Amino acid sequence: MANAAKLAQNSPVRMLITGFPGSGKTGSLACLANAGFKLRVLDYDGNPEPLFQYVEPAKLANIDIVTLEDPIGVDGQFVKVKGIPTAFLRGVQLMDRWRYEDPDGELDPKTGKRWIDLGQSKEWGPDTVLVLDGITGMGAASMARAIAMTNKTPMSVSSPVWGLAMQEQMNFIKRLTSSVVKHHVVVLSHLKMIGPKEITATDDPITREIKERNVDLIPTRFHPSGLGRELPPNIAGEFPIAVTMEVKVKGNKVRRFFSVHPKEEMDLKLPVKDIEALGELGPRQGLLKLFRALGAKPPIEEKVHA
């Protein structure tokens, strides 16, 4: 237990950013690197180029990215992950210690291999942001792992396999947002529309009646793109901050911006007293404005005032 004043002073940013593909989520991270934050990116989606485009050349060294993907190929009669999937587990391991083999790393004389070692995450502080990009790719890695662990094929995936993959995906998110984490966390996710289950021709009368009743009880809403139907509505509850990146198109002009107010179709939350004072939250500086409003001081500013 701790005094509330101490908790408020040392509270890191734990933020969920949702948006459709191409809305500017990944590129919006650049302002954090430009402000001196060290970004450690768990790259499950394999598209870091938008981030590089907007980072100042001298600040690229602030970013370390590990691309996490399982090789896809022909395995028997299926096109699927070849061999034993490792991407999901590697992400969990990196959250504990950011260490990976790399030709530019330091030589380990015992093994003859070279390693990049940025230390244990428990030693990271408020100058570091751990980024998950994003939930969709991480979920796919979790599903591949569950299929392999249960010795299933794409044709024999059952409800218990889905349940295992969903539970491990939620555990991954809980690890990211744990109260013991002292560094900042930003998680990116696509959006998934979920509503009442559709009535099918194979439904028995009782199932059909239940589904018909649920049409009026269960609203159709956007959620982070986690696995299945039951998991996505629970993901935002793991974060104190949930915002979305919107895109407005008028003629040949495209406007991208962070939306922070709750909507009927989407849960959003931002614990800032005077949200309107933040003004327009565009993709180039909007995330840095949000960090400042939440009490996270950019490392460059701290050095200037030191």
Q: Could you report the per-residue pLDDT of 172-210, keeping only the tens digit for each?
A: 999 999 989 999 999 999 999 887 676 677 767 776 666
CATH fit for domain 4-305, picks 3.90.660.10, 3.20.20.70, 3.30.470.20, 3.40.50.300: 3.40.50.300
SS3 assignment, position 104: strand
Q: Could you report the per-residue pLDDT of 219-255, keeping only the tens digit for each?
A: 788 999 999 989 999 999 999 999 999 999 888 888 9
User: Considering only CA atoms, which of 7, 10, 11, 14 is closest in space to residue 173?
Assistant: 14
- Amino acid of residue 243: V
Cα distance between residue 32 and residue 36, in whole Å:
7
In the chain, what are the helix, strand and coil shares in percent, each to the nearest 5? 35, 25, 35
- pTM as predicted: 0.88
Residues 222 and 232: beta-carbon distance below 8 Å? no
Residues 180 and 123: beta-carbon distance below 8 Å? no
- The secondary structure element, H or E, covering residue 73 is strand 72-75
